[in-house]
Structure 1
Amino acid sequence: MSRVLRAGAIMAAGTLVSRVTGFLRTAVLAAAIGTAALGDAYNVAYTIPLILFDLLIGGVLSSVIVPMIVRAQRNDPDGGRAYEQRLMTLAILALTAVAVLAVALAPQIVDLYTDDWTGPKREAAVTLARFILPQIAFFGIGALAGAILNTRDRFAAPMWAPVLNNLVMIAVGLLYLVVSDAGSAVEEVTRSDLALLGLGTTAGIVVQCLALVISLHRVGFRFRPRFDLRNAGLGEMGRTATWTFAYVGISQASFWVTTKLATGAGDMAPGAGNAAYSYAWQLFQLPYGIIAVSVITAMLPRMSRSVADGQYDMVREEFSSGVRLVSSVIVPSGLLLMVLGPALTVIIFGHGNMTTQDAIYIGNVLQVFGLALVPFSVFQLLLRVFYSFGDTRTPALIALANAAVSAGLSLLAYLTLPAEYIVMGLAFSFTVTYIAGGTITWMLASRRVGGLDGRRVAASLTRMYVAAIPTAALALAVLWAVETFAGLTLLSSLIILVAGGGLGGLLYLAISHRMRIPEIRSIVGLVAGRLGRG
């Protein structure tokens, strides 16, 4: 627990700042371009490089490349340095070629993810995509640099680098608000406006990539192009990654269905489409990104080493500690999102070209996503058990089942719900999918390592929910009282968050301390110790 906690704390601090500045970035962009046609066009163009990155390298990094780098560092006479250089050479060549090809095919790619868009809306999406798609190469190079840093137990830079990207994007959004006369009107937006948004988005990723490369250089990595790629283990990587590509492809097919349905809903009910879904998803990722991603990043190299040494009991303990530590934060976070979602989104999005009702709608979607926070986070932790064994086949088959459930439920929501409720239905479909998928994945992973300390984890989760329910009740009481007398405005939302969220968080800490929940006591002890030394 202490090792995971220390590593997680380092990363969580950086991720917290990253997510907070990400909040500001999202708020500024939403104020600048809204959630109607231009907002939908930007979010589709912004999402495409992320999708292509996941398809090409994102999933392979955690499931294949990190374990292979760890093995090379342990077994190669040079500590894996030549192997790392070959991987970096391959990434630069392959991803640059993909970025060039993607820019050329931007119209076709946009059409793939939209629902019969025409006119200014499609033109804006295509133009933005051409400006944004080159970042695929920088995404990949930066991600590989971050993976190499993680295998050397250097976790800070990968968590802090996104802050630079967010700061660049905040500046871009503010500049757009100042210089553009179009606002959120897609019919009036100029090519210069789109260039500012698109090239500014790419510039943020370039800065993030450079920060990671510089950090890698500082820990002793020296890049030298190596074209003896046959020695990069491409055959083994290809065999292992086949199932990873299948997993990512299936997941992205499911995401494609969701995006198509969300954009279709936005055409029927402006403001209740893909942009609203995307903004709610980004906020949903905040607690998961701060704690779960930090713990996952620290867990995987250690679990891979334990598997290599045949120490399955250490894999079990690492996983159990990680789940309990993550749950101590995401259990109350999920409940608070379900209660305070609209108050949070009014503060973040209720400005500029966004109306209060648009912001409240995003909050309603966020409330539904709050249900998914615990099952989604646990599911992601479970996948790392398989990846530590080099097993990418099982996650791919699980993804296939998840995709079938998600697509079926999403289509049902699209066909049966009123247009303004479709995006909420998509979020609920996501929740049901990960509850079912997490249950199946737990059983399969438990068989792999001879148990996952399930009784201990279940007991801890039960105690955390018992401690968190009064927190949610307090937040709900504050929400009801303030909204009854003042409605949901910027000021009242701030009061609700400070009183409901702040006091609720303190109540959770107090009850957890009283119940002697060890994970919370460990976190509080670590923070107190660091403050004392400061």
Structure 2
Amino acid sequence: MVPPSGGGKGGASSILKSGAVMALGTLASRITGFLRTAMLVAALGVGALADAYNTANTVPFIVYDLLLGGILTAVVVPLIVRAKERDTAYGERYEQRLFTLAVLALAAMTAVAVLLGPVFIGIYGGSMHGSQRELAVLFARLFAVQIFFLGVSAFAGAILNTRKRFAAPMWAPVLNNLVIIGTAAAFLLVSTGKVNPDTIADWQIALLAGGTIGGMALQTVALWPSLRGSGFRWRPRLDFQKGEIGQIGKMAVWTLAYVLITQIGFAITTRLANSAGVKGRLEHLGDVGYTPYFNAYQLFQLPYAIIGVSLITALLPRMSEHAAGGRMREVADDFSNGLRLCSVVILPAAGLMAVLAPEITTVLFAHGATSVADAHVIAEVLRMFAIALVPFAAYQLMLRVFYAMQDTRTPTFVSVAVVATNIACALTAYAVLPTNKIIVGIAGGFALAQTMGAFVGWLILRRRLGGMDGRRVFVSYVKLVIALWPLVGFGYAVHAITEAVLGTGLLPGLVALVVGGAGGGALYLLFAKLLRVGEVQTMISTITRRLPGRG
């Protein structure tokens, strides 16, 4: 029998210990990921070429999520955990069958996606035409090969997670990022002038495609030593026992419905953002389309990826065990601990994004083919995304609670409200806002939709779990919000003074970012400690114990 997790410091500390190595790996992954993004922005800019590349490079992830990604998160991990609880040897055979099925499905999906490149660009490319559309279609066909590597990598990571080996899946993306950083640097070094879809050469296309695909392949291969170290040896087999396929299918059909609904929303918002970019160039407003929106979204996800994904990955097997044993009170405790710990980092990150967005985007993106004005377009979108950070993290954690209970149907119905809100707001923004504000409005719709999802998910789970530890969550949030205001005030003051004295640009942005971030962060920690926010103290204690010379 698994001992109770508890809702106090012990439970929170245990979750943090499980997530610490993952958080470090995710931090390294995201730092190199943003360096990758910055290098690509410097090499490709934020205009027509970048829109074609980024839209096409999003397609493999869309196809993967649509047909397999959600199943891994919602179905595979809980099923493997339960199979191993039933019988260890049976669980290992079950893993082999699932892995074989995944490899075959991925190979078929990849072949079909290569053929459907023009269809995907027709859906997501908005008003792309001429050489830009031709380039996007070519990239979409080439990048489709990533689906196979992406799927195998994710499935391997899921198996490692069920074996409580969390480090490798979090560190492997660093290798992918380094390959693409090198590709972007090579593109910058060998290219002269500003390259666009009309002027890009075949060898430049080959360089970008080879680096992008090669990075994903390396990420996949890098997981194999950890898989072998965990005792996993793949032996292809499809001898599914009676009821196993039906069990997978029953859960997967609702997961596919959920992913399909969310991808409809993504397709519409991506298409509208690309259309806004085309309109902006026709109206001589600069680059105000999908790439600025895409880059702001990547920045927005950083705090959630570092702490939220790490905690969620550690929590899912744990919640699945508690749910399998019918210990719903412990599932609620796991959720409460995860949400409160996540918020310790998410809230101040959202505050810094809101007040220092121009400095963040200028330091990261205002290089090469991208100007300070282009970076400020990204900053406007980032500020709107900052509003979404807290509800987004809460909603994602709630989805994992449903998955731990092997309920994939309820998240599908919740997603209908979320996606409908997102689509309605995006269409309204496109119809009523000036062209250069459309992507800002689309980001605002995303924030409202995530808030809707968190609210509805909370109401349902409170009834299902017999409570959500709401009082303790509320008290923690009140204290954290009070501690947040000194950070916001200090950050805004640094932003205003730096802009008035030094103006805008890379050096002023770097000064404001360092001073505002460090000073604001210190004030936040001071006030959180004065307010006796237990989660902050737990996190600090966990980190300090890992420092050299400490226990």
Using the alignment, how far apart are the partners of 1:77 and 1:20 within structure 2?
A: 38
- Corresponding residue for residue 217 of structure 1: 228
Q: Which of residues 247, 263, 269 in structure 2 aligns to 1:258?
A: 269
1:231–1:138 Cα change, 3 Å: farther
- Corresponding residue for residue 84 of structure 2: 73
Secondary structure of 2:223's counterpart equals: helix
- Corresponding residue for residue 284 of structure 2: none
User: How far did residue 182 of structure 1 move?
Assistant: 5.9
- Corresponding residue for residue 214 of structure 2: 203
Q: Which of residues 471, 477, 484 in structure 2 aligns to 1:461?
A: 477
- Corresponding residue for residue 33 of structure 2: 22
Using the alignment, how far apart are the partners of 1:157 and 1:374 within structure 2?
A: 27
The yes-or-no answer on 1:124 pairing with 2:135 is yes
The yes-or-no answer on 1:139 pairing with 2:155 is no
Q: Which of residues 461, 478, 482 in structure 1 aligns to 2:494?
A: 478
- Corresponding residue for residue 395 of structure 1: 411
Using the alignment, how far apart are the partners of 1:353 and 1:514 within structure 2?
A: 46
> Residue 13 of structure 2 aligns to which amino acid in structure 1?
S
Using the alignment, how far apart are the partners of 2:181 and 2:547 within structure 1?
A: 30
Using the alignment, how far apart are the partners of 1:74 and 1:478 within structure 2?
A: 55
The yes-or-no answer on 1:369 pairing with 2:385 is yes
1:184–1:288 Cα change, 3 Å: farther
- Corresponding residue for residue 370 of structure 2: 354
User: How far did residue 180 of structure 1 move?
Assistant: 2.5
Using the alignment, how far apart are the partners of 1:115 and 1:525 within structure 2?
A: 50
- Corresponding residue for residue 63 of structure 1: 74
- Whether contact under 8 Å (1:142, 1:208) holds in the other structure is yes
Q: Which of residues 362, 386, 403 in structure 1 aligns to 2:402?
A: 386
- Corresponding residue for residue 198 of structure 2: 187
Using the alignment, how far apart are the partners of 2:188 and 2:77 within structure 1?
A: 42
Please show how residues 79-158 of structure 1 align to structure 2 within 5 Å.
Answer: 80-158=91-169
Task: Give the structure-2-normalised TM-score.
Answer: 0.95
Secondary structure of 2:546's counterpart equals: helix
Using the alignment, how far apart are the partners of 2:166 and 2:259 within structure 1?
A: 25
- Whether contact under 8 Å (1:142, 1:213) holds in the other structure is no
Using the alignment, how far apart are the partners of 1:492 and 1:79 within structure 2?
A: 61
User: How far did residue 434 of structure 1 move?
Assistant: 1.1
- Whether contact under 8 Å (2:127, 2:274) holds in the other structure is no
> Residue 269 of structure 2 aligns to which amino acid in structure 1?
T
Q: Which of residues 404, 423, 427 in structure 2 aligns to 1:407?
A: 423
Secondary structure of 1:298's counterpart equals: helix
Using the alignment, how far apart are the partners of 1:311 and 1:115 within structure 2?
A: 48
- Whether contact under 8 Å (1:99, 1:136) holds in the other structure is yes
User: How far did residue 223 of structure 1 move?
Assistant: 0.6
Using the alignment, how far apart are the partners of 1:410 and 1:174 within structure 2?
A: 35
User: How far did residue 231 of structure 1 move?
Assistant: 6.0
User: How far did residue 533 of structure 1 move?
Assistant: 3.1
The yes-or-no answer on 1:281 pairing with 2:297 is yes
User: How far did residue 259 of structure 1 move?
Assistant: 0.4
Secondary structure of 1:531's counterpart equals: coil
- Corresponding residue for residue 309 of structure 2: 293
User: How far did residue 227 of structure 1 move?
Assistant: 2.6
Task: Give CA-to-partner distance per residue, 1:167-199, whole Å, 9 cap, x none.
Answer: 011001001111223643221001221121122
- Corresponding residue for residue 449 of structure 2: 433
Using the alignment, how far apart are the partners of 1:321 and 1:258 within structure 2?
A: 33
- Whether contact under 8 Å (2:128, 2:274) holds in the other structure is no
User: How far did residue 474 of structure 1 move?
Assistant: 0.1
> Residue 430 of structure 1 aligns to which amino acid in structure 2?
F
Gaps of 5+ in 1: none
> Residue 343 of structure 2 aligns to which amino acid in structure 1?
S
- Corresponding residue for residue 514 of structure 1: 530
* More deviation, 84-93/227-236: 227-236
The yes-or-no answer on 1:32 pairing with 2:43 is yes
- Corresponding residue for residue 509 of structure 2: 493
Secondary structure of 2:236's counterpart equals: coil
> Residue 237 of structure 2 aligns to which amino acid in structure 1?
R
Task: Give CA-to-partner distance per residue, 1:209-236, whole Å, 9 cap, x none.
Answer: 1112221111110011113245682211
* More deviation, 406-415/172-181: 172-181
* More deviation, 124-133/277-286: 124-133
* More deviation, 193-202/42-51: 193-202
Please show how residues 287-326 of structure 1 align to structure 2 within 5 Å.
Answer: 287-326=303-342
Task: Give the structure-1-normalised TM-score.
Answer: 0.98
- Whether contact under 8 Å (2:128, 2:278) holds in the other structure is no
User: How far did residue 115 of structure 1 move?
Assistant: 1.7
- Whether contact under 8 Å (1:266, 1:272) holds in the other structure is yes
User: How far did residue 79 of structure 1 move?
Assistant: 5.1
User: How far did residue 77 of structure 1 move?
Assistant: 4.7
User: How far did residue 532 of structure 1 move?
Assistant: 4.1
Secondary structure of 1:110's counterpart equals: helix
Q: Which of residues 265, 268, 280 in structure 1 aligns to 2:279?
A: 268
Using the alignment, how far apart are the partners of 1:458 and 1:45 within structure 2?
A: 42
- Corresponding residue for residue 171 of structure 1: 182
Using the alignment, how far apart are the partners of 1:78 and 1:441 within structure 2?
A: 36
Using the alignment, how far apart are the partners of 1:345 and 1:69 within structure 2?
A: 42
Secondary structure of 1:228's counterpart equals: coil
Secondary structure of 2:547's counterpart equals: helix
The yes-or-no answer on 1:4 pairing with 2:20 is no
- Whether contact under 8 Å (1:382, 1:441) holds in the other structure is yes
> Residue 377 of structure 1 aligns to which amino acid in structure 2?
A
- Whether contact under 8 Å (1:164, 1:204) holds in the other structure is yes
- Whether contact under 8 Å (1:86, 1:229) holds in the other structure is yes
- Corresponding residue for residue 7 of structure 2: none
* More deviation, 279-288/178-187: 178-187
Using the alignment, how far apart are the partners of 1:514 and 1:79 within structure 2?
A: 52
* More deviation, 167-176/122-131: 122-131
Task: Give CA-to-partner distance per residue, 1:58-83, whole Å, 9 cap, x none.
Answer: 11111111100101111135051111
Secondary structure of 1:222's counterpart equals: coil
Task: Give CA-to-partner distance per residue, 1:3-45, whole Å, 9 cap, x none.
Answer: 1010111111110111100110000000000110001001101
Using the alignment, how far apart are the partners of 1:424 and 1:176 within structure 2?
A: 30
Gaps of 5+ in 2: 1-11, 282-286
> Residue 466 of structure 1 aligns to which amino acid in structure 2?
I
Secondary structure of 1:370's counterpart equals: helix
Using the alignment, how far apart are the partners of 1:40 and 1:57 within structure 2?
A: 26
Secondary structure of 1:353's counterpart equals: coil
* More deviation, 519-528/448-457: 519-528
> Over aligned residue pairs, what C-alpha RMSD do you find?
1.2
- Whether contact under 8 Å (2:42, 2:366) holds in the other structure is yes
